[in-house]
Amino acid sequence: TPGWAAHLAVALGASDYLCLARTGARMRDVVAEQLADAVAFKPDLVTLLIGGNDVLRSDFNPVRVAREARDVCLELTAAGSVVLVVLLHDPSKVLPRGGVAVGRVLAVRAAAVNSALLTDLAGLPGVVVLDPQHFDMAHQRSTWHIDRMHPSARGHRALASIAAARLAQHGLCAVAPIPPIPEQCPGPILVAVWLVAHGIPWLLRRSVDLLPELVGVVIADSRAARARADDVGDGQSPAAMAAPSDAAAATTASA
Q: Whole-angstrom Cα distance, residue 30 to residue 184?
A: 33
Distance CA 44, CA 16 (A): 10
Question: Cβ(101)–Cβ(214) under 8 Å?
Answer: yes
Q: What's the confidence (pLDDT) of residue 45? A: 97
**Comparison of pLDDT for 116 and 218, the residue scoring more:** 116
Three-state DSSP at 178 gives coil
Q: pLDDT per residue over 184-224, tens digit each?
A: 655 566 655 555 566 556 666 655 665 666 666 657 656 76
Q: What is the pLDDT of residues 124-134, one digit of tens each?
A: 999 999 999 88
> pTM for this structure?
0.73
pLDDT of residue 188: 62
Which ranges in 80-152 belong to alpha helices (H)?
100-121
Q: Where are the alpha helices (DSSP H) in the chain?
A: 4-11, 27-29, 35-41, 62-78, 100-121, 153-168, 188-194, 200-209, 211-233, 243-253
pLDDT tens digits along 4-33: 899 999 999 999 999 998 878 999 999 999
Express as a percent the part of the chain with pLDDT over 70. 65
237 versus 210: which is more confidently predicted? Answer: 210
Pick the CATH number of 4-168 from 2.30.130.10, 3.40.50.1110, 3.40.50.1860, 3.40.640.10: 3.40.50.1110
User: In 10 A of CB 108, how many CB atoms?
Assistant: 23
Q: Where are the domains of the chain?
A: 4-168, 188-253
What band does 238 get if pLDDT is binned at 50, 70 and 90?
very low
Per-residue pLDDT reduced to its tens digit, 30-81: 999 999 999 999 999 999 999 988 987 878 899 999 999 999 999 999 999 9
